[in-house]
């Protein structure tokens, strides 16, 4: 099957480009030969409107459940049910993994996109729980909503990646990455080695944003940076919290990891404000872990760019 060309979905629209690239490269490839991985399928533009609609739903969930979506509270389960229903309707195979933390029941939501080589799995994840202090819209409704919309775009475009795609929404990150640690601990040695990469999204719409790329697996890091370079947006290496989110258990298990981050309670320097705009001398997110982390605690430009970066990376790393 090495000469098969997929024509469903976005591959069909990029087939001409792929053939032209093959001819230009002159590598002896005949027209219709299997495309090089990085040019196989263009990632779709992720709709900011749709991502914000998911955020509005998560805000409503918090408002209806005592103001938060925290582990062990009704707002967490309602958040999970919202995301799960969208994924089920889009054709994903969803699994809810239950665990206990601080004497309360928690859940991970795992969504597999049928197809692809299950010996080569690309995972992307975001924690879905908030702290009890507030609704957690930037932390981490932003990553959860962008991940959901990326997964829905996989379905909408009929994407048939070479690798198997698995998306995850983690519970109890705010209690010390309990959900993601539970998931990784439950993987057999074989299944662990099948995961080629894990992409983490935790806080990607900060109101005074920075553009940070995790300084971890070099191939994943470079793929993400390529996206921002194409936009003309400067990035910095993420240094605020190595090991402070759900990529840590994956990294500790020897799985290549990467991710993006728009900043939490650290203060933006004047050099950073000069290249990214926003306010120097102020935190990237002044509402980090507090009650004001609401729907208004989001920078739309950052959320839009970062959601597109997620899709870009998912496509590039799975094709
Ligand atoms: N994990 C933190 C939280 O959810 C947020 C955070 C702070 C973070 N610094 C980070 C996430 C660096 C990723 C990278 O509260
Ligand atoms: Zn977080």
Residues 262-279 pLDDT 10s: 999 999 999 999 999 999
pTM (2 decimals)? 0.88
- The verdict on the CB of residue 129 being under 6 Å from ligand 1 is no
Give the confidence band of 150 by pLDDT, cuts at 50, 70, 90: very high
Length of the chain in terms of residues written: 319
Tell me the residue ranges of DSSP E strands in 78-231. 93-101, 104-113, 117-127, 163-170, 195-201, 212-214
Q: How far apart are CA 290 and CA 73, in angstroms?
A: 17
Residue nearest to atom 10 of ligand 1 (CA): 241
Tell me the residue ranges of DSSP E strands in the chain. 93-101, 104-113, 117-127, 163-170, 195-201, 212-214, 236-238, 257-261
Q: Could you give the domains of the chain?
A: 40-318 (3.40.630.10)
How far CA 208 is from CA of 177, 204, 240, 304, in Å, comes to 25, 11, 15, 14
Atom of ligand 1 lying closest to residue 127 CA: 4
Q: Is the pLDDT confidence value at 22 over 50?
A: no
Q: Is the pLDDT confidence value at 23 over 50?
A: no
- The verdict on the CB of residue 67 being under 6 Å from ligand 1 is no
Q: How far apart are CA 71 and CA 104, in angstroms?
A: 8
Residues 187-234 pLDDT 10s: 999 999 999 999 999 999 999 999 999 999 999 999 999 999 999 999
Upstream peptide bond of 236 is cis (omega within 30 degrees of 0): no
Query: Which residues have C-beta within 8 Å of that of residue 201, sequence separation ≥ 6?
Result: 124, 125, 126, 140, 142, 143, 144, 146, 147, 259, 260, 306, 310
Which residues are catalytic, by number? 173
- The verdict on the CB of residue 261 being under 6 Å from ligand 1 is yes
Residue nearest to atom 3 of ligand 1 (CA): 174
Question: Hunting for tokens 């507090």 — which residue is that?
Answer: 290
Residue 40: per-residue pLDDT:
55
Q: Which ligand is nearest to the CA of 285?
A: 1
Kind and range of the H or E run holding 305: helix 300-318
Mutate to test the pocket of ligand 1, among 245, 284, 285 (most ligand atoms within 8 A of CB): 245
- The verdict on the CB of residue 265 being under 6 Å from ligand 1 is no
């Amino acid at each position: 099957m090495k000469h098969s060309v997929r024509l469903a979905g976005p591959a069909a629209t990029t087939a001409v480009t792929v053939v032209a690239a093959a001819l230009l490269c002159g590598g002896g490839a005949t027209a219709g030969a299997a495309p090089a991985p990085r040019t196989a399928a263009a990632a779709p533009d992720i709709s900011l409107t749709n991502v914000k609609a998911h955020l509005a739903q998560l805000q409503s969930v918090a408002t209806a459940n005592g103001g938060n979506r925290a582990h062990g509270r009704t707002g967490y389960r309602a958040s999970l049910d919202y995301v799960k229903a969208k994924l089920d309707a889009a054709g994903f195979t969803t699994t809810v993994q239950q665990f206990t933390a601080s004497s309360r029941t928690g859940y991970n939501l795992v969504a597999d996109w049928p197809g692809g080589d299950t010996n080569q799995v690309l995972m992307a994840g975001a924690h879905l729980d908030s702290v009890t202090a507030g609704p957690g819209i930037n932390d981490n409704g932003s990553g959860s909503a962008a991940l959901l919309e990326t997964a829905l775009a996989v379905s909408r475009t009929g994407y048939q990646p070479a690798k198997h795609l698995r998306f995850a929404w983690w519970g109890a990150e705010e209690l010390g990455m309990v959900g993601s640690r539970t998931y990784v601990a439950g993987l057999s040695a074989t299944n662990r080695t099948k995961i080629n990469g894990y992409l983490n999204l935790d806080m990607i719409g900060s109101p005074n944003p920075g553009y940070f790329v995790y300084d971890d697996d070099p191939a994943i890091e470079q793929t993400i940076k390529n996206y921002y370079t194409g936009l003309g947006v400067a990035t910095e290496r993420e240094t605020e919290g190595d090991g402070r989110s759900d990529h840590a258990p994956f990294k500790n298990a020897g799985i290549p990891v990467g991710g993006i981050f728009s900043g939490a309670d650290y203060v933006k320097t004047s050099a950073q404000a000069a290249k990214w705009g926003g306010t120097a001398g102020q935190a990237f997110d002044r509402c980090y872990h507090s009650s004001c982390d609401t729907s208004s605690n989001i920078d739309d430009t950052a959320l839009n760019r970062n959601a597109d970066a997620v899709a870009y990376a998912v496509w590039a790393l799975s094709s």
